[in-house]
Amino acid sequence: MTAFQPRVFSGVQPTGNLHLGNYLGAVSRWVPLQDQMPTIFCVVDSHAITAGFPDPVELSEATREVTAAYMAAGIDPTKSIIFNQSQVREHAELAWIFNCVARMGWLSRMTQFKEKAGKNKENASVGLFAYPNLMAADILAYRATHVPVGDDQKQHLELTRDIAAKFNNDFGERIKELGIGVPNPTPSPELPEQLYFPLTEPMIAGPATRIMSLRDGTKKMSKSDPSDLSRINLTDDSDTIAKKIRKAKTDPDALPSAVEGLADRPEADNLVGIYAALGGLSKEDVLKDFGGQQFSAFKPALSELAVAKLSPMTDEMRRLMDDKVQIDSVLKDGAEKASAIAEPVLKDVRRIIGFLDVR
Ligand code: AQP
């Protein structure tokens, strides 16, 4: 890789209650990164309007709630930049430029658009189709090098790399001429000598990259699933968590003693993965303790662990939500710091493209 300054960027949409999948697949994994490199965590409210405009009051509240969840999970505003996307105009500006870099064919292959638009593609918003370009802009406005996300975002991150590579390539000579960007130690026909945007590395690892629905082990746990029993929300109280785990779909067999025994058992695999991620263990470790046991024994242990891990966070989220002034001040401070990084990047991008700057 090239000598870009390492930087982490990630985000969650304020489209409803955060669930265990968002927590284990994304937010909880951000926490240790804060001590390794500069980190930026965004509440991506501009993405939250792509599938239809939510109620305006609810959107503002959900933005504060996701911020509270970040902080309750351990994202520290003195270490990380926390802000809401719409406050930094550079995201929208760069997304427009990327609309002109990305190809229709690339976006047409995005599976999340196909899933979210469903059968009624003609009626989906242009914003939903162009969502991955905005995501690329979120990341590249900070020239972020690392993006920790769940497995469902893998394809969008590949697109982000394609956009960065095409921009670097299309404007390679110009970037060199202006003397900006960083040298590419391994130039090739695909990547020129001087690069402006990094080819961002996805960070998708661990036992919880795709937490599945508690009602159907073949479907991703999701905020938009109509069944609340399908997910554990970070705002659920202990009784609700225990009830949802008790009612989680399973098969009639005992847990296997080895991970291979979880193949073709999506619900068992999911619950073991959740236990592993919550306990900071591997699936192998969990099966060492629970292999051969029935779900009637495993589910209460899982409930106990989930409540022990999530309850303190839920309490802290409630406490933070009572102090909206504090949340808004964290977001304001974060937006100022984020703008200070993104503004010069967009200034460079305008120069590279040739937009006349007369101000
Ligand atoms: N089930 C999941 N398992 C692991 N990681 C997940 N993520 C989402 N669901 C799971 C990760 O959470 C981060 C934020 O996601 P998002 O809110 O921006 O959007 P999403 O992926 O569309 O989340 P949902 O819950 O599935 O929302 P809806 O229902 O609105 O589509 C990302 O890093 C994502 O990978």
Pocket test for ligand 1, best of 19, 22, 200 (most atoms within 8 A of CB): 22
State mean pLDDT over 321-335. Answer: 97
Please report the pLDDT score of residue 359 as a whole number. 82
Q: 62 C-alpha vs ligand 1 centroid, how far in Å?
A: 15
Has residue 165 got a pLDDT over 70? yes
Q: What is the pLDDT of residues 12-70, one digit of tens each?
A: 999 988 999 999 999 999 999 999 999 999 999 999 999 999 999 999 999 999 999 99
Has residue 190 got a pLDDT over 90? no
The string over 115-136, giving b where at least 16 C-beta atoms fall within 10 Å of a residue's C-beta and e elsewhere, is eebeeeeeebeebbbbbbbbbb
**What are the extents of the domains in the chain?**
8-207+324-353, 228-320
**Percent of the chain beyond pLDDT 70?**
99
Of 79, 154, 176, 223, the catalytic one is: 223
DSSP string across 211-280: PBPSS-TTSB--TT-S-GGG--BTT--HHHHHHHHHT----SSPPPSSGGGGTT-HHHHHHHHHHHHHHT
Tokens standing for 214? 């508690």
Name the band, by pLDDT with cuts 50, 70 and 90, for residue 327: very high
Separation CA 29–CA 150 (nearest Å): 10
Please report the pLDDT score of residue 185 as a whole number. 84
The answer to whether domain 8-207+324-353 and domain 228-320 are alike in fold is no
Tokens standing for 167? 């921009």
Angle (CA) 228 202 49, round 5°:
45
Strand segments, DSSP code E, in 125-165 are 146-148
State mean pLDDT over 256-270. Answer: 97
State mean pLDDT over 138-166. Answer: 97
Please report the pLDDT score of residue 2 as a whole number. 55
Has residue 199 got a pLDDT over 60? yes
Which has the closest alpha carbon to 137: 92, 107, 196? 92
List the CATH code of the domain at 8-207+324-353: 3.40.50.620
**Percent of the chain beyond pLDDT 90?**
93
Specify the pTM: 0.95
Please report the pLDDT score of residue 17 as a whole number. 83
**For residue 18, how far is the Cα from the chain centroid?**
11
CATH-assigned architecture of domain 228-320: Orthogonal Bundle (1.10)
Q: Is residue 283 annotated as part of the catalytic site, yes or no?
A: no
Please report the pLDDT score of residue 237 as a whole number. 95
Measured in degrees and rounded to the nearest 5, phi and psi for residue 233 equal -85, 150
CB 100 within 8 A of CB 60: no
State mean pLDDT over 169-187. Answer: 94
State mean pLDDT over 166-190. Answer: 93
Has residue 1 got a pLDDT over 80? no
Strand segments, DSSP code E, in 25-162 are 39-43, 80-84, 146-148
Please report the pLDDT score of residue 68 as a whole number. 97
Q: 14 C-alpha vs ligand 1 centroid, how far in Å?
A: 11
**For residue 221, how far is the Cα from the chain centroid?**
14
Binding residue positions for L-tryptophan:
138
